[in-house]
Chains A and B, each alone.
Chain A
Amino acid sequence: MAYELHEVLDTVRMTESEHFDIRTVTLGVSLLDCANASAAVVCRKAYDKIRRTAAHQVHVAEEVEALYGIRIANRRVAVTPVTLVGGSFGAKDFIHFAHALDSAARDIGIDFLAGFSAFVARGMHNADHAYMEALPEALASTRHLCASVNCASTSAGINVDAVMRVSNVLLEAAHRTADTDSSGCTRTVTFCNAVPDNPFIAGAFHGPSLGEVVLNVGISGPGVILRAVRDLPVSSDIAAVCETVKRTAFKITRAGELIGRQVARRLRARSGVPVDFGIVDLSLAPTPQERDSVGAILLAMGLEELGAPGTTAALAMLTDSVKKGGTMASSRTGGLSGAFIPVSEDIALASAVGSGQLSLAKLEAMTAVCSVGLDMVALPGDTSPEHLAGIMLDEFAIGMMNNKTTACRLIPVVGKSAGDIAHWGGLLGSAPVMALPHAASRVLVRRGGSVPAPMRSLTN
């Protein structure tokens, strides 16, 4: 027999009972060739191009799903950041653009389309101002569209003015989507050091250096790692835990790359569009299901509760081991690659927040070693813009100083206060609204201007 029994059982068990799935196959589509002086022309060309390029994405993903018996949870599209395509746009134009992109997503049958994005780490163009003005309405009047704003980077510093502006925009979006627990903010990420090939929503966009059409894969698999860690005896030392995570990450990355290449190849054959395979993002992305939780892995590693001393260290080991295993498995790893800690999407994290074990301060510490940041964190609806900006500044400072991506997906839930539960449904799950420290930093954030780029930026 070409395979050992335990190898075959291992794979079958992963795919059937441990929630190993491909979280997303995300087709990155360049819209640079849709640029035009007329916004109406841009909207039409962008809609047509997405329809044409991604027409077979859903069907091909189903075929590959059946071929390997691995579920592909989501099919998504990421486009060139709209502020690059619509450099001459006014606010109304961006709203029309948002609607065109949302219609394209709906018509090809995908759940999310991302790339409604702006890059303002050092300053804002005219289009960025128009974009900010349009963003609340764009989010409130669409269902599939995802937005991201890169406000900071290690090379540029933090644009505090932009952070304040985004805070006000987020609060307005929260009010405009108040009837769905401010769901507009669940589709908006703010970044420090955003990456151009991230396949995960809501922060995906198709970076201008990536080529015409690229298929990126985001793998999941907390359930698989959880089982492997749980199977270890308590007497196993920390090196054994890391080794187990690495070995498991290796296997799921291999499967992810295989699926990504197959989907790209079949899309190429089916549509005639030259679709390149891009990267595998081997992020452990939890879902609200019981055994599909990053928090549960940290508990299995030996924490008594999430938020207890040792939590940051456990997460650091997990993130690093996942990266190491994945890097050995594929030379095409990229994106964010590590472990996500989206509170509402992870049942163990959400429950630790609910019981008060996990505070916002501890979550922030954890983001220094996870792959992204404060993700899907519900805040009181009466959070002030200065408070929101202060949280983002802290998060971006971590990213800027450590040369890593950090992000915020903060949801001020209108009409709810600390301890209430916000519900968004589906993969987004639900989360308890977290209490904020009473004091903000009004004077600091109102000073405006930019945090200068750190010493680390001077590497040339």
Chain B
Amino acid sequence: MDLQRLVRHVAAAMGADATADRVESVARAILDSEDVVQQDRVIITAFGLDQPGILAGVTGIVAEAGCNILDVSQKILQGYFTMIMIADIAAMKISLTELQGQLRIAGPSLGVRVGAQHEELFARMHRP
């Protein structure tokens, strides 16, 4: 959740009671809470034998869903295609489950296995 949006939400919820101090203390409590998902981003991965159009195919589905692609890394190792994409899903028009379903269905026609998992999992496992 970005900071400005959070502060606006808190201030709006407090209505007439909102003072700078009170908004700050509530916003701080929310940010300190370990439960908050800080960002709404997914990591999309595709693995399989290389063939033309894999990146285009995956990108098409992700863009159509209204996700903003933040970063893509693609490597071909001994004919084996590996792609990692980070996408912001905050403004996505469909649910994550629907996106996962579309990617899963598209996989076989692109000759790869495609999946999407929330970024937080990777952050938790690989970052202190």
Across the interface, which residues of B come within 8 angstroms of A69, CB to CB? 100, 115-117, 121
Could you mark each residue 76-111 of chain B with 1 if its beta carbon is under 8 Å from any beta carbon of chain A, else 0? Answer: 000000101010000000001100100000000000
Pick the contact of B115 from A12, A255, A257 — CB < 8 Å? Answer: A12
Pairwise interchain contact B126-A258, C-beta atoms closer than 8 A: no
A4 CA to B124 CA, complexed, in Å: 14
A2 CA to B34 CA, complexed, in Å: 21
Pairwise interchain contact A7-B122, C-beta atoms closer than 8 A: yes
Interface residue A439 (Cβ < 8 Å from any Cβ of B): no
Interface residue A251 (Cβ < 8 Å from any Cβ of B): yes
Pairwise interchain contact A5-B73, C-beta atoms closer than 8 A: yes
Give the shortest distance, in Å, between A443 (CB) and chain B (any CB).
Answer: 55
Interface residue B50 (Cβ < 8 Å from any Cβ of A): no
Give the shortest distance, in Å, between B29 (CB) and chain A (any CB).
Answer: 15
Interface residues on B, range: 20 to 34
Pairwise interchain contact B96-A67, C-beta atoms closer than 8 A: yes
Pairwise interchain contact B96-A5, C-beta atoms closer than 8 A: no
**How many A-B pairs with Cβ below 8 Å?**
72
Given the known interface contacts A5-B82, A12-B45, the answer about A66 and B122 at a Cβ–Cβ threshold of 8 Å is no
Interface residue A239 (Cβ < 8 Å from any Cβ of B): no
Pick the contact of B117 from A7, A10, A15, A262 — CB < 8 Å? Answer: A15
Give the shortest distance, in Å, between B82 (CB) and chain A (any CB).
Answer: 7
Pairwise interchain contact A68-B120, C-beta atoms closer than 8 A: yes
A173 CA to B43 CA, complexed, in Å: 50
A251 CA to B121 CA, complexed, in Å: 10
Q: Which of B34, B96, B122 has the most CB of A within 10 A?
A: B122
Interface residue A214 (Cβ < 8 Å from any Cβ of B): no
Across the interface, which residues of A come within 8 angstroms of B117, CB to CB? 11-12, 15, 67-70
Within 8 A of B (CB), among A46-68: 66-68
Interface residue B17 (Cβ < 8 Å from any Cβ of A): no
Could you mark each residue 257-298 of chain A with 1 if its beta carbon is under 8 Å from any beta carbon of chain B, else 0? Answer: 110011011000000000001000000000000000000000
Interface residue A37 (Cβ < 8 Å from any Cβ of B): no
Give the shortest distance, in Å, between A363 (CB) and chain B (any CB).
Answer: 33
A12 CA to B121 CA, complexed, in Å: 10
A4 CA to B127 CA, complexed, in Å: 11
Pairwise interchain contact B126-A251, C-beta atoms closer than 8 A: yes
Give the shortest distance, in Å, between B42 (CB) and chain A (any CB).
Answer: 9
Across the interface, which residues of A come within 8 angstroms of B96, CB to CB? 66-67
Pairwise interchain contact B126-A257, C-beta atoms closer than 8 A: no
A–B complex contacts, Cβ < 8 Å, 21 sampled: A2-B86, A4-B126, A5-B75, A5-B84, A8-B45, A8-B122, A10-B125, A11-B121, A11-B125, A11-B126, A12-B47, A16-B115, A66-B100, A67-B96, A67-B118, A68-B118, A69-B116, A251-B125, A261-B35, A262-B37, A264-B35
